[in-house]
Structure 1
Amino acid sequence: MDAAQWDERYRASAGGVWAAEPPAVVREITASLHPGTAIDVATGDGRTALWLAARGWTTTGVDFSAEALALAVARPGGDAVTWVRGDVTTWEPPASADLVVSCYLHLSDSAAAVARMAEWVAPGGVLVVVGHDVDNIAAGGHGPSDPAILYTPALLRGAVDERFHVARCGQLVRTSADAELRGGHAAHAVDTLLHAVRVR
């Protein structure tokens, strides 16, 4: 979907598309980190950026949908985040960040997008990427049905270079208790996680 299609989806939503909190694995990883600067890539209506800001992170939320950002800024705590309209394939942050996180961003060249995000991580910083795994199609989980834009552990691991230590990279099974969408979803879903630390 392009920006215009996402704008329409957000306009049609009743108060937002995504669940109120980030995925459980994102909360788990970031809860153990000392707050610093953070970039939430493809922030959508802001759930991850707002969660991080509420925990002391100086957060920038980036998305190419103006409608998504309008919902995000109107949410409680929305004034604590710097919201930027930008496309991950072309946007560049003004400075590197201690944390770069991306949830459910799927593009025709996702590996290149993740490699770009990795460049934004400061030495000692953390990259967290989570999205639908290619096996999610067979599992019947919500999400894209085009395997060409879905993740695999090999794809995400290959998107970072020797400057990164891969702390965790693999499949996750997510249940309706850890919903991606507002209102939850009955079926479980298969995701892929990359948690990498930039060591130099």
Structure 2
Amino acid sequence: MDAAQWDERYRASAGGVWASQPPAVVRDIARALRPGTAVDVATGDGRTARWLAERGWAVTGVDFSAEALAIAAARSGGDAVSWVRADVHDWKPAASADLVVACYLHLPDNASAIARISEWVAVGGTLVVVGHDVDNIAAGGHGPSDPAILFTPELLRGALDERFRVERCERVTRGTADAELREGHAHPAVDTVLHAVRVH
């Protein structure tokens, strides 16, 4: 979907497109980190950026959908989030960040996009990527059905170079009670999670 299609999807959403909280795996990883600067890539309606800001992070939320960012800004109140309308292929932060998060960013060039955003991580900083795994199709989980834009652990691990230490890179299954699985989804969903630290 391009920016115009996402704008339309956000315009049509009465209660928001996503759950109100970030994915549980993102919350678990971030809780163990000392707050600093963060970039939330493909922030959408800003749920991850807002959650981080509430916990002391100085956050930049980036998305190419103007409608998504309008919702994000309206919901954010006076928190420490800077909302930026941009495409991840063209934009980069003015300075490296202590935490870079990308939730459900699915592109035809996934590996190169992840490699690009990994450049934004400061030495000692953390990269967290979570998205639909290719096995999600067979599992019947919600999400894209085009395997060309879905993740595998091998794809995400291979997007990083020797500057990163991979703490975790694996498939995870979210049960039907997970907050992400709204609107009567009857099947578990399979994601890929990458957690890496830039060591030099």
Q: Quick check: TM above 0.5?
A: yes
Look up the equivalent residue of 1:112 and give its one-letter code: S
Residues 1:143 and 2:143 aligned together? yes
| Number of the residue aligned with 1:17 | 17
Residues 1:164 and 2:164 aligned together? yes
Secondary structure of 1:75's match? helix
| Number of the residue aligned with 1:177 | 177
| Number of the residue aligned with 1:193 | 193
| Number of the residue aligned with 1:96 | 96
Structure 1 unpaired stretches of 5+: none
Whole-angstrom CA distance in 1 between matches of 2:132 and 2:171: 9
Whole-angstrom CA distance in 2 between matches of 1:69 and 1:185: 26
TM-score by length of 2: 0.97
Whole-angstrom CA distance in 1 between matches of 2:26 and 2:184: 17
Structure 2 unpaired stretches of 5+: none
Q: CA shift at 1:187, angstroms? A: 1.8
Look up the equivalent residue of 2:55 and give its one-letter code: R
Whole-angstrom CA distance in 1 between matches of 2:178 and 2:82: 26
| Larger CA deviation: 128-137 vs 15-24 | 15-24
Look up the equivalent residue of 1:71 and give its one-letter code: I
Whole-angstrom CA distance in 2 between matches of 1:58 and 1:182: 29
Q: CA shift at 1:177, angstroms? A: 2.7
Look up the equivalent residue of 2:132 and give its one-letter code: H
Percentage of matched positions with identical amino acids: 77
Secondary structure of 1:82's match? strand
Look up the equivalent residue of 2:43 and give its one-letter code: T
Runs of 4+, deviation exceeding 4 Å: 181-184
Q: CA shift at 1:90, angstroms? A: 1.0
Whole-angstrom CA distance in 1 between matches of 2:182 and 2:82: 23
Q: CA shift at 1:61, angstroms? A: 0.3
Q: CA shift at 1:78, angstroms? A: 5.7
How big is each residue's C-alpha offset from its partner over 1:73-113, in whole Å with a ceiling of 9 and x where there is no partner? 01144643100001011111111000000000000010011
Whole-angstrom CA distance in 2 between matches of 1:181 and 1:60: 26
Residues 1:129 and 2:129 aligned together? yes
Do the aligned partners of residues 187 and 77 (structure 1) sit closer, same or farther apart at CA in structure 2, a change above 3 Å counting? farther
| 1:39–1:99 CA contact under 8 A, matched in 2 | yes
Look up the equivalent residue of 2:70 and give its one-letter code: A
Whole-angstrom CA distance in 2 between matches of 1:74 and 1:81: 12
Q: CA shift at 1:16, angstroms? A: 1.6
- Across the aligned residues of Structure 1 and Structure 2, the Cα RMSD in angstroms comes to 1.2
Aligned length: 200
Whole-angstrom CA distance in 2 between matches of 1:70 and 1:181: 24
Secondary structure of 2:167's match? strand
Secondary structure of 2:196's match? strand
